[in-house]
Amino acid sequence: MRQGDRPLTEAAVRSGRLRTRTDAGGNATLRLPVGLQRLIVASIGFRPETLQVAVRPQVDTTITVQQLEQAALTPVVVTATRIPRRLEDEPVRVEVLAGEDIAEKTEMRPADLTVLLREISGVRVQPTSPALGAANIRIQGLPGRYTQLLSDGLPLYGGQVGGLGLLQIPPLDLRQAEVIKGAATALYGPAALGGVVNLVSRSPSDRQEILLNQTSRSGTDAVVWLGKRLNDRWGYTVVGGVHHQDKVDVDGDGWADLPGFERAEFRPRIYWNGEHGRSLFATVGAMAENRAGGTMVGAVAPVRMGESSMRDDLCSKPDACACYRPECRRRSSHRHHGVVWNRVRPDNHQC
């Protein structure tokens, strides 16, 4: 057994039930019956080889096999535990979403991370404000306030994550998403009682990406990512985008099932890599958004359970249905035990 001009030791050689391994010189000996025999040679890190050998009586047959290195997989390095380690060396279980999964979900929804995070088992994206579309992350059933959201290992998103922060992060800049399920309070404090979601940004590379998206529900996205390595030590990335979504009432009940918003973001980063694995990055970002939801223009709030029967009783009387026309209603309120009660009554002057 050879790898180039060097002997290959501890390689497995077998034929049927007969097995052996190569010695320090890369040699192995098997006593095979006369006839055509199949020989399988395998070694860790090399492609397995299958040979057909014709064994003749009272004749020693010598075969030299050149082993080719197997294509090595790029190791997955995670940083959710604050120290960059290979995934298999982590002391806690870390789930990683990267590569084609990131690219696929980015094309499906370039405006935010909700579709991307739903792909991870045990992670639930729960709406917190259906009118505005706000959501937070629940891990293993715990409330969203116990999930720590990080950017490159740092809590850059602050306290807004429980509201609209999750909807304002463009996924085009992501290299991978790392999730720790379970308590990580020793690393990140009580905010990580449920788990940690670490969003790892892409490193500088000499490439540019432009993503344009148009949906059938009146949504438009345009996102640009630029990266460049200036030399061995310095590099930069820039991500920017504009997003627009009209309020859409899918079922026609007067309530916007899809909230409307207009958003623009811009975020440059500068990277520096030093000796002995030292690195540094500086970033600044700006974002402006206008978001609206709730009832559609010219519509009233949907009828709740119990109100429809009351409306039917009133409408059985002559001219009573006019009380429910928007132009004939006026609203009064009174406070009782700290609770404001609203009452809708007809405007007699208009009705």
Q: What is residue 103's predicted lDDT score, i.e. its pLDDT?
A: 86
User: Is residue 341 in some structural domain?
Assistant: yes
The SS3 assignment for 222 reads strand
Determine the average pLDDT of the residues in 54-77: 77
Residues 87-140: tens digit of each pLDDT: 777 778 888 888 888 888 888 888 888 888 888 888 888 888 878 888 888 888
What sign for the dihedral angle of Cα 245, 246, 252, 258?
A: positive
* Alpha carbon distance 328, 280 (integer Å): 64
* Alpha carbon distance 51, 44 (integer Å): 18
Instruction: Please indicate, yes or no, whether residues 50 and 163 belong to a single structural domain of this protein.
Output: no
CATH number at residue 118: 2.170.130.10
* Alpha carbon distance 333, 341 (integer Å): 5
Instruction: Please indicate, yes or no, whether residues 163 and 288 belong to a single structural domain of this protein.
Output: yes
* Alpha carbon distance 162, 128 (integer Å): 8
Q: Tell me the H-state helices in the chain.
A: 100-108, 114-117, 185-188, 307-315
For all residues of the chain together, what is the average pLDDT?
79
Instruction: Please indicate, yes or no, whether residues 232 and 321 belong to a single structural domain of this protein.
Output: no
Place of tokens 């040679």: 41
User: Is residue 307 in some structural domain?
Assistant: no
Q: Is the pLDDT of residue 343 over 50?
A: no
User: Is residue 62 in some structural domain?
Assistant: no
Which domain covers residue 40, as residue numbers?
2-55
The answer to whether the predicted template modeling score (pTM) of the entire model surpasses 0.75 is no
Instruction: Please indicate, yes or no, whether residues 129 and 190 belong to a single structural domain of this protein.
Output: yes
Beta-carbon neighbour count of residue 318 at 10 Å?
7
Q: Is the pLDDT of residue 56 over 60?
A: yes
Instruction: Please indicate, yes or no, whether residues 115 and 11 belong to a single structural domain of this protein.
Output: no
300: region left, alpha or beta (phi > 0 left; psi from -120 to 50 alpha): beta
Around 235, how many Cα atoms within 13 Å sit in the side-chain half-sphere?
18
169 confidence band (pLDDT: 50, 70, 90) = confident
Calculate the alpha carbon distances from 284 to 156, 222, 252, 267 in Å: 10, 20, 42, 6
Around 320, how many Cα atoms within 13 Å sit in the side-chain half-sphere?
9
Please tell me the total count of domains within the chain: 3
* Alpha carbon distance 161, 148 (integer Å): 9
CATH number at residue 23: 2.60.40.1120
User: Is residue 60 in some structural domain?
Assistant: no
Q: Is the pLDDT of residue 1 over 80?
A: no
